[in-house]
């Protein structure tokens, strides 16, 4: 199977993934806490309050929920299903394992919230999926951005205007992969 077939297959799986995400968020909505309520001081310095009021976290004791991609017809991405993950973001809400509730991980997931907001659901999923297929988890462009900004957050060396910075980088990632979807 070439990569265009895989992208086409991924596109056809989108409605299932979208539905799965909505069901998971709906099923946990009573446990979702606005980030602003957690009182992390540095998050309040670097992110605007509207974002911290809108974004939510759900703390889980076991694995963070991940879509059953092999059951949805995408066994190519099934290695992600079994990967131990400390956090994962769906739209404006992220799940964090209770052992990993650091301000730094919350920062990382908030980068993803801004990416989701910038791209919208379908384009986020497409960009994330293509990045995984091309580069693997850690080096996929949306993760790479979140990890490198997290390192700069930890080093207290963030660029100014972080939300605009993330939006511009996210746009650039989308522009680099959008031609792929025109060919399929
Ligand atoms: Zn991440």
Contact 110, 49 (CB under 8 A): no
Q: What is the chain's mean pLDDT, rounded?
A: 93
* Structure confidence at residue 164 (pLDDT): 98
How many A from CA of 170 to the centre of ligand 1? 14
Over residues 66-86, the mean pLDDT reads 87
Is 162 a residue whose pLDDT tops 90? yes
How many A from CA of 6 to the centre of ligand 1? 22
Count of C-beta atoms within a 10 Å radius of residue 125: 21
CA angle 78, 80, 82 (to 5 degrees): 85
Q: Exposure pattern of 40-78 as b/e (b: 16+ CB <10 Å)? A: beebeebbeeebbeebbbbbeeeebbbbebeebebebbe
How many A from CA of 58 to the centre of ligand 1? 15
What are the domain boundaries of the chain?
Answer: 3-178
How many A from CA of 131 to the centre of ligand 1? 12
* Structure confidence at residue 182 (pLDDT): 74
Is 114 a residue whose pLDDT tops 70? yes
Alpha-carbon span 90 to 78, nearest angstrom: 18
* Structure confidence at residue 183 (pLDDT): 61
How many A from CA of 132 to the centre of ligand 1? 12
Over residues 54-70, the mean pLDDT reads 95
Return the sign of the alpha-carbon dihedral for residues 135, 96, 158, 121: positive
* Structure confidence at residue 2 (pLDDT): 64
How many A from CA of 146 to the centre of ligand 1? 6
Report the percent of the chain where pLDDT is more than 70: 97
pLDDT tens-digit series, residues 40-51 = 999 999 999 999
pLDDT tens-digit series, residues 16-57 = 999 999 999 999 999 999 999 999 999 999 999 999 999 999
How many A from CA of 12 to the centre of ligand 1? 24
């Amino acid at each position: 199977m070439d990569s265009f077939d895989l992208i086409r297959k991924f596109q056809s799986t989108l409605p299932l993934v979208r539905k799965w995400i909505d069901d998971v968020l709906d099923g946990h909505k009573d446990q979702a806490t606005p980030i602003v309520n957690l009182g992390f001081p540095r998050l309040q310095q670097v992110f605007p309050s509207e974002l911290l009021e809108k974004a939510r976290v759900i703390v889980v004791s076991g694995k963070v929920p991940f879509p059953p991609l092999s059951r949805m017809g995408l066994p190519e991405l099934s290695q992600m299903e079994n990967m131990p993950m400390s956090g994962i973001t769906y739209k404006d809400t992220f799940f964090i394992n209770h052992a990993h509730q650091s301000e730094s991980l919350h920062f990382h997931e908030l980068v993803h919230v801004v990416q989701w907001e910038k791209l919208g659901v379908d384009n986020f999923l497409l960009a994330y999926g293509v990045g995984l297929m091309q580069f693997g988890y850690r080096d996929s462009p949306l993760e790479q951005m979140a990890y490198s900004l997290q390192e700069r957050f930890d080093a207290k060396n963030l660029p100014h205007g972080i939300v605009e910075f993330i939006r511009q980088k996210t746009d650039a990632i989308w522009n680099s992969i959008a031609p792929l979807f025109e060919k399929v």
